[in-house]
């Protein structure tokens, strides 16, 4: 049944087809009415002003309707099946049009400098910090993280997930040179007058943790 469902047109598709047929019939009827009015006014022996205005309007409607029909038809196929030059534009040039659209989007929307400028203008870090500064938002984010942590921890039991994490972060840690970072951190701490107090508190915390988990 599921295989046949794709072959059966949906209600929306059927409505669109009926609307297309109705609009085609309406447009063709109006074009024929304009042509009939034009030829009828040509048969008037001594046309007055109103007849001349009607003839001019009907003539403009016929010319405009035929021009619109030809322009729209020429985009998708050869009008009346005739291989007229510069018709069936989209089927013949779809690859070139697609490449041009892709190049336009890449140059005008996805260029690195444009994205960087938009990110600087948007300032996501500052906006997120301002959002997180609200107590209700901070509590909500903490609740969501706390609720997700058990699932993350249990997922580490999956060998595939564990191998993926090891590959993803293991390669980055291998390429990361920690020595300069640790050196700068030690220099920063030792240059601070509160270093001794911080070091003492850290030792006290380690001693308390070891005593509690002997």
DSSP 8-state assignment for residue 158 = S
- Do residues 62 and 35 touch, judged by C-beta distance below 8 A? yes
Whole-number Å distance between alpha carbons of 52 and 43:
12
pLDDT value of residue 3: 45
Whole-number Å distance between alpha carbons of 8 and 204:
75
Quick count: other Cβ atoms within 10 Å of Cβ 79? Answer: 14
Which of 11, 26, 96, 21 lies closest to 65, judged by CA? 26
pLDDT value of residue 64: 93
Write the CB contacts of 121 (distance below 8 Å, at least 6 apart in sequence): none
pLDDT value of residue 29: 94
Quick count: other Cβ atoms within 10 Å of Cβ 114? Answer: 12
The model's pTM: 0.41
Backbone torsion region of residue 27, taken as left when φ is above 0, otherwise alpha when ψ lies between -120 and 50, otherwise beta: alpha
Q: What is the full per-residue pLDDT of the chain (214 aa) written as tens digits? A: 444 444 445 788 889 999 989 998 999 999 999 999 999 999 888 888 898 999 999 999 999 999 998 888 888 888 888 888 878 888 888 888 889 998 998 888 888 888 888 888 888 888 888 888 888 888 888 888 888 877 777 776 677 777 777 777 767 777 777 778 778 877 877 777 777 777 778 888 888 888 888 7
Give me the residue label for tokens 């609009």.
23
Residues found in the chain: 214
Quick one: 46 exposed, middle or buried, by C-beta within 10 A (0-12, 13-18, 19+)?
exposed
């Amino acid at each position: 049944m599921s295989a046949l469902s794709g072959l059966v047109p949906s209600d929306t598709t059927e409505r669109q087809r009926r609307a297309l047929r109705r609009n085609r019939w309406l447009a063709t009827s109006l074009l024929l009415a304009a042509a009939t009015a034009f030829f009828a006014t040509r048969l008037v022996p001594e046309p007055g002003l109103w007849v001349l205005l009607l003839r001019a309007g009907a003539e403009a409607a016929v010319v405009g309707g035929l021009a619109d029909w030809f322009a729209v038809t020429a985009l998708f196929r050869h009008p009346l099946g005739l291989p007229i030059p510069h018709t069936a534009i989209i089927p013949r040039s779809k690859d070139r049009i697609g490449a041009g659209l892709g190049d336009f989007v890449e140059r005008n929307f996805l260029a690195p400098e444009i994205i960087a400028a938009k990110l600087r203008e948007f300032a996501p870090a500052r906006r997120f910090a301002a959002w997180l500064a609200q107590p209700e938002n901070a509590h909500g984010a903490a609740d969501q993280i706390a609720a997700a942590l058990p699932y993350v921890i249990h997922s580490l039991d999956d060998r595939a997930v564990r191998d993926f994490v090891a590959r993803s972060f293991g390669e980055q840690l291998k390429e990361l040179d920690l020595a300069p970072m640790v050196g700068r951190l030690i220099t920063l701490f030792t240059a601070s007058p509160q270093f001794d107090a911080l070091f003492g508190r850290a030792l006290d915390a380690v001693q308390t943790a070891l005593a509690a988990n002997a």
